[in-house]
């Protein structure tokens, strides 16, 4: 079984996300995205960053959050997701202990 690795350059990334290059640069400057490469012309984005950029743009647009607020909201959403996964795992373990 092979794993498909998605790598998009800046132009492709902007096209797929429907974001301008200036918008993407702004998102990167606020630490929301961390592409590989030194300069925007050299940046490479993966599929996770693609989804993250779309979520960031929605939070910025729909909730009218500043980029710092978007970064915080994304961090908190990730933390909630991790805590929920940990909670599910702990419930499963507890269920096995209670049944024994």
What is the mean pLDDT, run by run of 10 residues, along the chain of 100 residues?
A: 78 94 94 94 94 94 94 96 96 82
Fold of 8-75: Multidrug-efflux Transporter Regulator; Chain: A; Domain 2 (1.10.1660)
Model pLDDT, residue 4: 66
Model pLDDT, residue 1: 60
Question: What global pTM score does this model have?
Answer: 0.78
HSE of 94, CA atoms in CB hemisphere, 13 A: 6
- The domain segmentation of the chain, as residue ranges, is 8-75
Please give the backbone phi and psi of residue 84, each rounded to the nearest 5 degrees, phi first: -65, -40
């Amino acid at each position: 079984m092979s794993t498909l690795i998605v790598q998009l350059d800046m132009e492709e990334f902007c096209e797929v996300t429907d974001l301008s290059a200036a918008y993407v640069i702004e998102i990167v400057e606020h630490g929301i995205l961390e592409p590989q490469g030194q300069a925007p012309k050299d940046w490479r984005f993966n599929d996770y960053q693609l989804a993250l950029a779309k979520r960031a743009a929605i939070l910025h647009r729909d909730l009218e959050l500043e980029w710092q607020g978007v970064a915080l909201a994304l961090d908190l959403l990730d933390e909630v997701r991790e805590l929920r996964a940990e909670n599910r795992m702990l419930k499963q373990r507890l269920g096995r202990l209670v049944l024994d």
